[in-house]
Amino acid sequence: MNTDQTLSQMRTLKLSGMAQAYQTMLQMPVNEQLTADLLIAQLIEAESLSRSHKKMVGNIKAAKFRYQAAIEEIEFIQERNLDKNTILRLANTSFIKRGENVLITGSTGCGKSYIASALGYQACQMGLKVAYYSMSKLLQRLQLSKGDGSLIKELAKIEKVQLLILDDWGMHPLDNQTKLYLLQIIEDRHGKSSTIITSQLPVAAWFEYINEPTLADAILDRLLQQAHRIEIKGESMRKRKKLQEKQLQ
């Protein structure tokens, strides 16, 4: 079998990373080409890296993030009350493996959604499945799935993701049926996977927001039991960036 046939078979077998690496190695001078054992090792490593990259890209696409965000771009200025060590510890994603939650609160524009998205991107890069929902879209999706008979399937899909991000918690009123859906989602994920919630409401106001004592107790008990709390202070980051842009003009 010649090299062209070998490359063709690699592609047929969907070993694209291996095929690309092999093609690159074939272009090396003869005196620099690898021994058989090193060649096989590098081809396997190239295929593994290629598959990991494809998985990461697929996870990011499936998550449907609101922002393209990165941990490195988060601003840890003093007035934000944002502890860098806390964010970096969360960025290693071990909290997801432990089934812990992250609750991010602060005023509008302070960067809650960006931080949640950055942690979500980090999880995708670690090969984990993430789903990002604004609360309005989640509630709408649950209502639509109830109408077309796919609610159980939709709830099962949410349960399976290793990190669920619920953005803008507390912005929309909840009817009794929706509260039950939320309880089921939180119950199904409790202790097995993680949820990040962003909210303009302080955590102390969430009980009143749910506005049904029994359901509020059940939901908040599961959310708060193993949770990291991040309370962001300071002015709107959007306003701050606009001011900086004007000053640079």
For 170-193, the pLDDT digits (tens) are 988 898 888 999 999 999 999 999
Q: Which two tokens stand for residue 66?
A: 């609101």
Quote the pLDDT of residue 10: 79
Give the three-state DSSP class for 190: coil
Quote the pLDDT of residue 96: 96
Q: Residues 102-121: pLDDT tens digits? A: 999 999 888 999 999 999 99
Amino acid occupying residue 79: E
| Residue spans of the chain under pLDDT 50 | none
Q: How far, in Å, CA of 73 to CA of 157, rounded?
A: 31
* pTM of the model as a whole: 0.81
Quote the pLDDT of residue 39: 78
Quote the pLDDT of residue 90: 97
Domain borders along the chain are 3-58, 64-244
Give the three-state DSSP class for 169: strand
Quote the pLDDT of residue 241: 60
Closest CA to 185 of 136, 151, 148: 151
Quote the pLDDT of residue 239: 60
Give, in words, the CATH class of 64-244. alpha beta
